[in-house]
Amino acid sequence: ETDGAGVSANPMWWTLQPSPSLCVSFNSSMVSHGTVLSYKYKDPRLIPHPCEAFYFGGQTPPAIYLGEKVFLSQDNFQSSLLPMTIPAIIESSPAEVTSALFVQNNRALFVINGKVYVYFYSTWKTWKVSAGIDSPVTDITNMDCCYSLKDINCYDTSNFIVAYTTGKPTESTDIFTSKNGGYRFVKTSPAGYENALIGIYNFVSLAQLGVILNKTDGDGEAYFTYTDMNLAHQEQGAEFDMKLYADESVIGIIPPGLRGFILLWTKDTFVFSFNHGLNVALITVHPTDKYVNVTLPVQGLCNVAANRNEIAALTKNQKLFYGTLDMESTQMVYIGDKTKGKPTDPCEAMMFENIGVLFFVSLIPSMDSALYHFQKCIINIQDTLMTLRPPLQPCPVEILSGNFHNKIYYIDMKQELHFNVTFVPKPGTGTHPYVTVSNPHALAFQAQIDQDGFTFDGNTKYRLHIRLLQQAFSGMSQLEFQDTVYSSRISTITVDIYNKAIFCIDMHPITALIVVGCSPKKHIKIAESTTACNRGLFQDIVLQNNFVYSIDRKVYDPQFLGRKKLSQPNLNITYRYDLWRCPILLYYDSPWLPVLELWDNDEFIEYVSADFVLYEIHGMHNYDYLLNEVEAECRTAAQNWITIMAEDPGKEPSDVWNRLLYENCKIPQENGPLPSASRPYHVLNRNEKNRILFPQYNGIYVFKAIVVDTYYSYCDLTTVFSVYVHGALPKSQINVGKTLISLLVIIFGSILMVYYFPKLMKENAKMKTVWWERVMHCCFHSVLRIHAGRGNGGGRHRLKKTFSHFLFLSALSKYEQNSAS
């Protein structure tokens, strides 16, 4: 026999037991300073810190009480507290809180009078207004990553905050996002929807934002739509019922774990989704003798609490329901009624203290101070479940264990992970585990079950082998289904027991966070080689002591454009020994290829066999490459530093050429430019023939190497190292071209002289003989005329003298002829 609510006329009542430490006395002089905070809505709420296991090494995580007064407790409300206040200079009364959440382990965010404030509860107990929000907001949401305190992906996930106003069409609603934990927000213009905005959630394990919209033309229908971080519409989920009253808000609870679970509730609606809202199901009730209905009471909900695997709901008529969270179950079970109280009494705030342990908190003001005490009443859920009739289905599994639970793992490009799970089903149940991933677009898996012996009780033991791999390289899906390989993705993997029922409180699912992306400690470095210090060319102590070297003005370009003969001074560089160590020793006349090593923390992985590029960080350009584009077998024109830097002048070279901006010239492109033999090929690879060629130049080069192969790793793999090129003789100051031309002229002239000079001498001798003969002939006849004209003795004397001259000239002529011969 039941009443109208479906409850037995003689129900089994449960009693709220007060905590042993009810209150702690404080000096009555303790008072609050500033504007006292209050919760805008009628029913109080408790907001626990979601990351119990990772809160400061096992310390009690904090919790926020939202009610007529607002409190933040760091000991599960064991101690009395003063109400939270905000400096009056920041907010005047009334200071109404509409939303609050925790960000990591040191601060909380509050929406107060439409503004977002950061409260540092673990350090200075101070407030800071968030920057960037220029219009009122009502709600803030985030997705807590509780797998690691130090992991960068968890850090980024927990620090992504969304602030917005509910109840208005998105086309007229300002949405603000923060990537630094609420310190600064950026306004984002969402896609225009006429339907009213209910909530926005960062489904990081789906790489999407989930936006809940309430249809204005329907009868309380709502749906999820999925967008990228720019809020551009992409997909839409199935519709579900969501009834809203005036001034009522939809409260969303995302259980920790990033598995895609989300709970949404109002006074008359309680729904659950296990896949980020793609499918939303109504929470129902498993009937018992004490509560035979399959729906929650018509009076509606008063409060809802959830942890990683459990949910509890308190109704307006003071009835408590309990359930577990998994992919298959959406049922709760009636626990009992509150023994003291009326249906008209205000709701009590509640939260889970531990697995299967729920407590309620009632606020009690102090009679002699401004402090408030907390009536804390604890319920052991499992003890109550054992008394229900008919008995609940027992847990069908004895053992479910895996050593990867609550841990974070990385899968880089084309890599795999392997997990093992041990499970022992109870005899005769036929129970088997199932495997799910929250983001199948990024993560694929294969699973196989093998028998693995027996337990001490003789029950069969099984081992589940799981192989995880990147969906893009799994061969299991079409291209349209796969996530991009240009950016990392997050997914969870969960192993649970199918249809394990509510009674399996302690048999929690096994969950791990898988980052399809770069491991934070993965890096590259140059392979060890002979250094200039090993050969005595430099000393470590000299390089460490502010060593300065000079780069000639002709061999560097500060814009990395390879320009020569710039009007600039020589560049003096202070050597950074702490970064570059001792330079690698290279001989200038030997083609060189740097060998890169891939490391993960202190573990050597492999030699890098992917495409990479390098540049001299100070702009030196007096080196060349062995291959050109044609010799490198490019199908299209290849990228090179000159053209890339010319397109984005002034930018850092590593920002304009990396794995996200790399175009492989060996992959043909339709209508792409053809390769040229006049352009050097700037891409290097350990398995190819391209090399660096140094000129006749001795000096230090500081190179930065960048792995640009898109499909080698998600990591931005770079390293900086120095080399010292030696062995080049000083260049001669003689102009080689002019010297060669002069030498050729001399040789050619010598050949001509050897050939023509003897001939010229012979011709000259002949001409002299003829000339002397004519002279002698003329002289002889002159003598005869003189002799004939003068017959005296003086004439004879002059004749003798003239004849003597003639004999002398004749003898001289003969001598010259003999010499010429």
Distance (Å) of CA 82 to CA 6, 134, 224, 439, 731: 42, 31, 40, 44, 83
Tally of CB atoms within 10 A around 743: 10
- Report residue 116 as tokens: 């977002």
- Report residue 83 as tokens: 């109400």
Residue 25's Cβ-count burial label (10 Å; 0-12, 13-18, 19+) is: exposed
pLDDT digits (tens, 9 = 90+) for 778-800: 655 655 565 555 444 444 455 45
Opening angle at CA 255, ends 352 and 436, nearest 5: 130
Q: What is the mean pLDDT of the chain?
A: 87
pLDDT digits (tens, 9 = 90+) for 698-748: 999 999 999 999 999 999 999 999 999 999 877 665 666 777 888 888 888
- Report residue 244 as tokens: 């809203």
Nearest to 318 by CA among 334, 294, 295: 334
157: part of which helix (H) or strand (E)?
Answer: helix 152-158
- Give residue 19's pLDDT: 38
Q: What is the mean pLDDT of residues 381-407?
A: 92
Place of tokens 């540049």: 615
Tally of CB atoms within 10 A around 702: 20
CA pair distance 335, 383, nearest whole angstrom: 10
Residue 358's Cβ-count burial label (10 Å; 0-12, 13-18, 19+) is: buried
pLDDT digits (tens, 9 = 90+) for 350-379: 999 999 999 999 999 999 899 999 999 999
* 333 — pLDDT class (breaks 50, 70, 90): very high
Nearest to 642 by CA among 668, 673, 679: 679
Three-state SS at 39 = strand
Tally of CB atoms within 10 A around 558: 11
pLDDT of 27 over the 60 cut: no
State the DSSP code for 169: B
Are 713 and 518 in contact by the 8 Å Cβ rule? The answer is: yes
Residues 6+ apart with CB under 8 A from 151: 145, 408, 520
CA pair distance 132, 112, nearest whole angstrom: 15
> Whole-model pTM?
0.83
Secondary-structure percent of the chain, ordered helix, strand, coil, rounded to 5: 15, 35, 50
Q: Where are the beta strands (DSSP E) in 533-622?
A: 548-551, 571-574, 584-587, 596-600, 603-607, 612-616
Q: Look at phi and psi of residue 260 and say left if phi exceeds 0, alpha if psi is from -120 to 50, else beta.
A: left
* 816 — pLDDT class (breaks 50, 70, 90): low
pLDDT of 25 over the 80 cut: no
Place of tokens 């609870």: 253
| Edge-to-edge strands, sheet with 262-265 | 251-253, 262-265, 270-273, 281-282
Q: What is the mean pLDDT of residues 487-493?
A: 94
- Give residue 799's pLDDT: 47
pLDDT of 318 over the 70 cut: yes
Tally of CB atoms within 10 A around 436: 20
- Give residue 819's pLDDT: 53
CA dihedral (28, 32, 33, 35) positive or negative: negative
Residues 6+ apart with CB under 8 A from 740: none
SS (H, E, C) 272-322: EECCCCCCCEECEEECCCCECCCCCCCCCEEEEEECCCEEEEEECCCEEEE
* 217 — pLDDT class (breaks 50, 70, 90): low
DSSP string, 685-733: -TTS---EE--S--EEEEEEEEE--TTT-SS--EEEEEEEEE-PPPPPS
- Give residue 785's pLDDT: 61
| Residue 341 exposure: Cα atoms within 13 Å on the Cβ side | 19
Q: Which of 42-46, 528-532, 643-647, 791-795 has the least mean pLDDT? A: 791-795
* 278 — pLDDT class (breaks 50, 70, 90): very high
Highest mean pLDDT among 192-196, 204-208, 424-428, 606-610: 606-610
Q: What is the mean pLDDT of residues 325-341?
A: 84
Tally of CB atoms within 10 A around 8: 15
Which of the two residues, 209 and 15, has the higher pLDDT score? 209
Are 119 and 107 in contact by the 8 Å Cβ rule? The answer is: yes
Distance (Å) of CA 720 to CA 348, 543, 705: 61, 16, 6
Are 292 and 4 in contact by the 8 Å Cβ rule? The answer is: no
Percent pLDDT > 70 in the chain is 85
- Give residue 664's pLDDT: 96
* 817 — pLDDT class (breaks 50, 70, 90): low
Tally of CB atoms within 10 A around 789: 8
CA pair distance 695, 708, nearest whole angstrom: 26
Q: Where are the beta strands (DSSP E) in 474-588?
A: 489-497, 510-516, 522-526, 548-551, 571-574, 584-587
Nearest to 213 by CA among 156, 164, 282, 152: 164
